[in-house]
Amino acid sequence: MKTAHVKRAFKYRFYPTDAQAAELSRTFGCVRKVYNLALAARTEAWTRQERVNYDQTSAMLTAWKKTEELAYLNEVSSVPLQQALRHLQVAFTNFFGKRAKYPRFKSRKKSRKSAEYTTSAFRFRDGKLTLAKMAEPLDIVWSRPFPEGAAPSTVTVSQDAAGRWYVSMLVEDPTLKPLPAIDTAVGVDVGLNHLLTLSTGEKVSNPRHERKDRARLAKAQRQLARKAKGDGANRRKARQKVAKVYARIADRRRDNLHKLTTRLVRENQTIVIEDLTVRNMVKNGRLARAISDAAWADFRCMLEYKAVWYGREVIAVDRWFPSSKLCSTCGTLRDKMPLSVREWTCDCGTTHDRDVNAAKNILAAGLAVSVCGAGVRPQRRTPGGQSATKQKHLRREP
């Protein structure tokens, strides 16, 4: 497998000066404004059964900058504004291709604060990154090695809800090479009591990150609820405390999933999973919180793009495959298998652990369909040959 052209994002935290923070905050606001203006224009045209493309919105941006009301758009770099229009074009392309819902307007309070710069709007020399409209380079904490001699093609600056600043640089990583092929394969059954159960019999405990910080989160949320509504400083500080608790939970969850997926990809040539519809499963009010904390969708996404990176294969078995009710020894299918049943004995005399048996069946089904090509929900491919999930998460951390 060729990986020379695989692009990978390296994300670092940085600490802006007051002037840089003010400039970036203005840029975030202008990016959001341009995106919303263009979306409104395209939506209005859509009601008239007309389509507006990127070139037309780009011409609109030029006209907006000449008006007195929107003259402040000239104060920031034009590149992030053009990138916002390109992102909107991609959103509409996905909508017309029935891959996504109709684009939504960006909220000042809830939307992600970010701006994307292309090569014409930043300078990267001797390990120092300087953005357009800035005199000084960003104070980046190089927490991981950056590919030597690599030049970023795009730079994305963002600020999360907890107030932390990040810069993500997209580069071609020459160190990404397929791992040596091996003969091992594993079936993976995800769950709530145990995060993962492998066909080898190994069970990976569920860290339950959200539950561990639930008391801290509830306290922060109570303090926020007591603050007066509006944009007051006290309410803003309380909202940031809540965001910091959520960030702590998300950081630990992501770190754990990265370690698990990297280990599975390194130790196995083929990994078989279930094609679960997590979006529908979280509609269950009793289990939604636990399912969201387990982050099964993130686990699958990480597995898939790392498998592409390292020359491995991920097979998704159809979600209706009766992995829990099927005896992995004799193939007998039971009529019912309530969730309360964690261990059962087949008519052939074999006693099964419910999750281990399911993982074994998932592995057998995946290996069978990899040969005959039936029963697996195929991954959507992009024109470049990459899966849609891989393309979407191409910029994720390894």
Catalytic residues, by residue number, are 189, 274, 355
How many other C-beta atoms lie within 10 A of the C-beta of residue 6? 18
Residue pair 7/172 in contact (Cβ under 8 Å)? The answer is: yes
Pick from 244, 256, 331: nearest CA to 298: 256
Angle value at C-alpha 127, between 121 and 132, nearest 5 degrees: 20
Question: C-alpha angle 126/129/132, rounded to 5°?
Answer: 135
d(CA 176, CA 173): 6
Question: For residue 73, what is the DSSP state?
Answer: G
Task: Return the number of other C-beta atoms located less than 10 Å from residue 158's C-beta.
Answer: 17
The Cα–Cα gap between 219 and 297 comes to: 29
Based on the number of CB atoms within 10 Å of its own CB, is 200 exposed (0-12), middle (13-18) or buried (19 or more)? middle
Q: Are 302 and 347 in contact (CB under 8 A)?
A: no
